[in-house]
Amino acid sequence: MQDTVAVALITSLSTLAAAALTGLVGALSTRRQLAHQLTVARQENAERRTTRRDELRREAYVGFLSACDQAYRRLDRRWVEAGGDESPPGYDEAYAAMRAVDEAYNLVLLEGPAEVASAARSVLASLTAEYADQRRLGGEPGAATVPLRERHRERWLAAIEVRTTRRIAFVDAVRPVLDREG
């Protein structure tokens, strides 16, 4: 009878050991699966954040270029029309366009990186300088009858050259940022 008890005891212990071993293997497998799922979830979250940052940067850069284009149009009007950009008293459309560029520049500053912000700063500085130049030149005698472009052709051509150079430098700074992130 002791043999029967011993066999039963060995059988039950081996069954319990097998169940414990199966549970341990299952727990380790589940742990590995959960760790993998957590890693995948973190990677997907990082990719979503990167994609969102890229979208925000692209929007900021496009908004800046669009605001610059509007300001260029207002400045062009001041160069080519006799009397410049005659606005109602207390309102200057070119100044309003310059403010829009300034606001778009703030977004570029926030989105970065530094080399893009620096290029945007150069564009903004050239626009500001051109606007100040036009205001100064617009107060000269004959301003109401002869366009600024005709009276100051060299300055007009130089302003166009600076615009083009600075805008191209900005786009050249933006492209690698968007390419490496895209």
d(CA 155, CA 157): 5
Helix or strand run (H / E) with residue 145: none
What are the residue ranges of helices labelled H in 81-139? 93-111, 114-138
d(CA 120, CA 117): 5
pLDDT for res 1: 67
For 53-181, CATH number out of 3.40.50, 2.40.10, 1.20.1300, 1.20.120 equals: 1.20.120
Residues of the chain with pLDDT under 50: 88-90, 182
Domain boundaries, the chain: 53-181
d(CA 91, CA 17): 88
The pLDDT tens digits for 73-101 are 999 988 888 765 555 444 588 889 999 99
DSSP class of residue 11?
A: H
pLDDT for res 27: 83
pLDDT for res 145: 77
pLDDT for res 91: 53
